[in-house]
Amino acid sequence: MKLPKIEILDEKNKILREVSKEVTFPLPNEDKKMIKDMIDYLTLSQIEEERKKYDLRAGMGLSAVQIGVLKRIFVIVEEVEHEKFKNYIIINPKIISYSEEQIYVGEGEGCLSINREVEGIVPRYARITVEAYDELGHKFQIRVREDIAIAFQHEIDHLNGILFIDHIDPKNPFKNQEKMREI
């Protein structure tokens, strides 16, 4: 696998603040290639040797808007075993239910579009059910929890022009921490 030629936009880019458009099917070939490139990029970023070779930051999720394409598409690449990955291809997602319980990432959320340290907690639902489409246009539902639920919510935010830093209270970055569970 070689590193695809994609450029991840920085938080200063105004495109990241735009709402992405619904996708229609069948997907054009350039969208299929973009999805493959995003998966390859994330996979390489999670393999230590490749990450060092290409000087990448590790990432598990990427939205089309982060590479300048305003379409409601994101991918998650989850390492399930050492260098074995599960890929999620999510198109036109809608959160249809969520848990009452809220969680946050203890060491803080990160984003490939935000190249700086950010202190504070981002409240997320512990479990969500999402309705979406796969790359063939088949509708499906998926229930995700814990870190994958956080990744889904983070990427859905991107599709709506929201960055994780928007969820952090600048005056009190650890606000309501005691009401949530750390993961």
| Residues identified as active-site | 155
Distance (Å, rounded) from C-alpha 167 to C-alpha 120?
9
Please check whether residue 77 is in contact with residue 85, taking contact to mean a CB–CB distance below 8 angstroms. Answer: yes
Pairing between strand 73-81 and 84-98? antiparallel
Q: Which residues contact 14 (CB under 8 A, 6 or more apart)?
A: none
Distance (Å, rounded) from C-alpha 36 to C-alpha 38?
5
Please check whether residue 146 is in contact with residue 76, taking contact to mean a CB–CB distance below 8 angstroms. Answer: no
